[in-house]
Structure 1
Amino acid sequence: MPQLNPNPWFAILVFSWIIFLSILPAKVMNHISPNEITPVGAEKHKTDPWDWPW
């Protein structure tokens, strides 16, 4: 039963993961986010207590 022989399938698995881990991250990281992150100031915002109507 050739499907139980792990030698060729393990090599295919290892080579495919090497390809995925070497090519795909570079392609994914080349995309630019449409919303650039802007740093928020360190000042605290003033919060008012909520007046509940009941």
Structure 2
Amino acid sequence: MPQLNPSPWFGILVFSWFIFLTIIPLKIMSHLPPNEAISQDTLLFITEAWSWPWY
């Protein structure tokens, strides 16, 4: 039964986990967001309460 021979499959498993744990995270972490977040002044957004009657 060739499925029980671990020699070819163990190498594939180790190599794939090596790629998943080293190369892919580095590529994901190197991406920058398209727009940097800016802080907005909260004083500009002061609104008044609505004076609508409730029916």
TM-score by length of 1: 0.56
What SS does the aligned partner of 1:35 have?
Answer: coil
Supply the distance in 2 between the matched residues of 1:50 and 1:9 (Cα, whole angstroms).
71
Partner of 1:6: 6
Instruction: Tell which structure's C-alpha radius of gyration is larger.
Output: 2
The alpha-carbon deviation at position 22 of structure 1 amounts to 0.6
Asked if 1:21 is matched to 2:28, the reply is no
Supply the distance in 2 between the matched residues of 1:49 and 1:2 (Cα, whole angstroms).
76
Gaps of 5+ in 2: none
User: For the aligned residues, what is the CA RMSD?
Assistant: 2.9
Partner of 1:53: 54
Supply the distance in 2 between the matched residues of 1:52 and 1:23 (Cα, whole angstroms).
61
